[in-house]
Amino acid sequence: MASITFKGNPVTLLGQEVKVGDKAPNFTVLANDLSPVSLDNSKGSVRLISVVPSLDTGVCDQQTRRFNEEAANLDNVQILTVSVDLPFAQKRWCGAAGIDKVQTVSDHRDLSFGEAFGVAIQELRLLARAVFVIDSNDVVTYAEYVSEATNHPNYEAAIEAAKQAK
């Protein structure tokens, strides 16, 4: 199991850690219009999944903006940002931030994504910062659990993994 801290304090992650080579687990989250979104919705595509505790914090904001900017350079890669923010808040934030290439989805209802990917923080009911790349055959080709939730992920490594995935 991944071991992380949140503001220097150890936290408990629920679910199973996902590793490179694993078949990506399915999940159901909510789009900004409250429609369900699952891994199956993007079957046959490369997915970069950026996981953030809350879009309304500095590092999460920067992470989502960075992947939104990089999306233009990633042909045939779908980018999802997952948080437990309410879909309405995500939609408002995307509008204010000009986010138009990344799809934000909410795991607030039942932590389906968080538990499936081992990023649900038990003590806070937030998601740990992480990045996953899943290829068109639903195999995990990149997995980063950021050891301190307030730190940035390795953007370059995730982007390169997305470019290499088929």
3-state SS, 53-103, equals CCCCCHHHHHHHHHHHHHHHHCCCEEEEEEECCCHHHHHHHHHHHCCCCCE
Task: Count the alpha carbons within 13 Å of 19 in the hemisphere toward its beta carbon.
Answer: 4
Q: Of 60, 99, 105, 143, which residue is the catalytic one?
A: 60
Contact 37, 30 (CB under 8 A): yes
Residue given tokens 């209802």 in the structure block? 109
Q: Which tokens in the block code for residue 7?
A: 């503001």
60 among known catalytic residues: yes
Residue 111: left (phi > 0), alpha (psi -120 to 50), or beta?
Answer: left
- Contact (CB, 8 A) for 127 and 11: no
Q: Catalogue the active-site residues.
A: 60
